[in-house]
């Protein structure tokens, strides 16, 4: 019998998360900030799409034609269900990398993405992926790859191996995956209690293991218990992707683009003295103790002239995606939390407070009229930080929005129906942003109630309370569960009123709600 899962964790389903970095629209600011020309956006592919949530959101929310594979048939079936609901024409299969990457009927792609997959597959499959990128990524196209990297994983690697080895050797025959995971975690927990010398050498590992214990067990199984698990240095990945003619373009982690959040002045000066870009990135990983990278790579990068770069940046469309007064003026980087100067950020946020779409050029003009001396470079950094927080989102052109609207409406209607029976899909599609917007399960139920004719918060409560009872989803206040129906209904009404006055107007601006 063939081993169709190739050592990958396939006994339990992957999580239903959405990963905004896979949205092709998000690559525009990092590439333009690096002075690079943008790719076309007609075709895209996600390798190893998991449950297909991200791939389907991006297919529905754009005019881009999406393809993808995930060898787990149950996950591919769910992805196909979402694709059918949206009618966006996305093609998702349960083929392995060997089958999918060797197909000769696929189009060439402007964008190919893979989230985490690189770290969890065999060397043979990594070679297949490189060959696929060389053969199917268009000249000028972009690849997005996120992966576990060194040196941030170096100290944890032996502990991960111990967890996986315990699962393989010490678990009783027939024990399920999650029980094996729990058993391995319990074993390491008891080992830590003996104060092993390894933890004396790496004292931060105890805290890291405590955080691991609190994670969703399905995620832990996929992250730590695959047969193949390979954190990789940036320089090694760069050498492998170089075989496909790809070169590093920029980080997809927006805060990583702002050096002052992650590097001391001494760090910045040290890196500035390194002329080789690959060695500079490799060295930077040591300075920030990098554990996970999210990067864009380009096949045939073309550098823009300063004038063309400035013109393209000014044409980027953005909008405020949260209520203005809910933007917290603090941002987290490697160096810790940093306060955002209200004198710098408030004028930008005030200009966008009506949740209309603005180009960066229009914001620049408004700031100049208001007497601000912030130039384009400063405004770009402000926007990058606001996008990193999720406060501001990039917006596609009107033609793309027009194509996406009916597709996202159909997909969102299907997701709202699923919310009547499950609580683990916290995302809806926005035709403006080309991607997903976080909408909690309770907020999804309010939207569903409105589709059924609920016109007031009281109507939403009457419609959603029976659903919550059926799902055994009681509400909480200050972290404590509410036990009586009266308490739950009062709390539910408070949520419904807040939703109607605060959240719904933003969702309407994003095209998520009517």
Report DSSP letters for 428-468, one per residue.
Answer: EEETTTTEEEE--HHHHHHHHHHHTT--SHHHHHHHHHHHH
- Cα R_g (the chain), whole angstroms: 24
Q: Which residue has the tokens 């955080």?
A: 211
pLDDT of residue 223: 80
d(CA 55, CA 111): 12
Q: What are the residues facing 477 on neighbouring strands?
A: 480
Instruction: Determine how β-strand 137-148 pairs with β-strand 109-115.
Output: parallel
pLDDT of residue 171: 83
Phi (first) and psi of residue 415, to 5 degrees: -65, -35
- What single DSSP character describes residue 5? T
- Contact call for residues 450 and 463 (beta carbons, < 8 A): no
Please list the pLDDT of the chain residue by residue as tens digits (514 residues). 345 454 444 445 567 999 999 999 999 999 999 999 999 999 999 999 999 999 999 999 999 999 999 999 999 999 999 999 999 999 999 999 999 999 999 999 999 999 989 998 999 999 999 999 999 999 999 999 999 998 998 888 898 989 989 988 888 787 888 899 999 999 999 999 999 999 999 998 989 899 998 988 888 887 888 778 889 999 999 999 999 999 999 999 999 999 999 999 999 999 999 999 999 999 999 999 999 999 999 999 999 999 999 999 999 999 999 999 999 999 999 999 999 999 999 999 999 999 999 999 999 999 998 888 789 999 999 999 999 999 999 999 999 999 999 999 999 999 999 999 999 999 999 999 999 999 999 999 999 999 999 999 999 999 999 999 999 999 999 889 999 999 999 999 999 999 999 999 999 999 999 8
pLDDT of residue 178: 87
pLDDT of residue 400: 97
Burial tier of 127 (Cβ tally within 10 Å: 0-12, 13-18, 19+): middle
Region label for 500, one of left (φ > 0), alpha (ψ between -120 and 50) or beta (otherwise): alpha
Strands (E), 173-305: 246-251, 292-299
CB atoms within 10 A of CB 203: 9
d(CA 38, CA 36): 6
pLDDT of residue 14: 66
d(CA 494, CA 458): 10
- Contact call for residues 234 and 281 (beta carbons, < 8 A): yes
């Amino acid at each position: 019998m063939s081993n169709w899962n190739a050592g990958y964790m396939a006994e339990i389903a992957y999580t239903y998360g959405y990963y905004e970095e896979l949205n092709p629209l998000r690559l525009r600011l990092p590439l333009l900030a690096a002075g690079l020309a943008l790719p076309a956006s007609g075709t895209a592919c996600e390798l190893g799409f998991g449950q297909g949530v991200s791939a389907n959101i991006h297919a529905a929310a754009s005019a881009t034609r999406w393809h993808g594979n995930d060898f787990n048939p149950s996950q591919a079936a769910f992805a196909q269900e979402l694709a059918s609901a949206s009618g966006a024409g996305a093609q998702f299969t349960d083929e392995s990398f060997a089958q999918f990457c060797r197909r000769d009927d696929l189009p060439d792609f402007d964008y190919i993405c893979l989230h985490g997959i690189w770290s969890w597959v065999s060397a043979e499959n990594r070679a297949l992926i490189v060959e696929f990128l060389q053969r199917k990524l268009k000249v000028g196209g972009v690849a997005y790859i996120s992966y576990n990297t060194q040196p941030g994983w170096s100290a944890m690697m032996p502990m991960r191996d111990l967890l996986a080895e315990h699962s393989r050797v010490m678990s009783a025959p027939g024990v399920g995956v999650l029980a094996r995971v729990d058993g391995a975690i319990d074993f390491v927990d008891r080992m830590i209690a003996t104060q092993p010398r390894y933890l004396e050498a790496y004292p931060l590992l105890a805290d890291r293991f405590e955080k691991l214990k609190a994670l969703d067990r399905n995620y832990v199984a996929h992250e730590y218990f695959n047969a193949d698990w390979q954190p990789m240095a940036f320089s090694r990945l760069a050498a492998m992707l170089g075989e496909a003619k790809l070169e590093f373009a920029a980080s997809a982690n927006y805060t990583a683009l702002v050096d002052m959040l992650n590097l001391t002045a001494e760090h910045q000066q040290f890196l500035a003295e390194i002329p080789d870009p690959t060695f500079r990135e490799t060295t930077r990983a040591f300075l920030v103790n990098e554990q996970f990278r999210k990067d864009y790579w380009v096949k045939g990068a073309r550098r823009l002239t300063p004038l063309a770069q400035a013109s393209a940046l000014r044409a980027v469309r953005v909008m405020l995606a949260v209520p203005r007064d809910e933007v917290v003026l603090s941002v987290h980087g490697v160096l810790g939390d940093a306060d955002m100067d209200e004198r710098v950020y408030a004028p930008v946020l005030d200009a966008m407070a009506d949740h209309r779409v603005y180009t960066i050029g229009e914001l620049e003009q408004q700031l100049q009229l208001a007497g601000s001396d912030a130039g384009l470079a400063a405004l770009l950094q402000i926007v990058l930080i606001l996008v990193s927080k999720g406060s501001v989102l990039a917006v596609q052109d009107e033609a793309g929005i027009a194509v996406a609207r009916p597709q996202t409406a159909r997909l969102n209607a299907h997701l709202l129906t699923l919310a009547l029976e499950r609580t683990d899909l916290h995302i809806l599609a926005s035709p403006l942003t080309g991607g997903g917007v976080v909408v909690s399960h309770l907020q999804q139920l309010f939207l569903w109630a409105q589709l059924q004719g609920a016109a007031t918060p009281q109507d939403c409560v009457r419609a959603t309370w029976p659903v919550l009872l059926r799902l055994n989803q009681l509400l909480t206040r200050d972290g404590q569960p509410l036990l009586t129906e009266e308490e739950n209904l009062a709390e539910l009404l408070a949520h419904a009123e807040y939703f109607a006055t605060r959240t719904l107007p933003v969702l309407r601006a994003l095209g998520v709600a009517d």
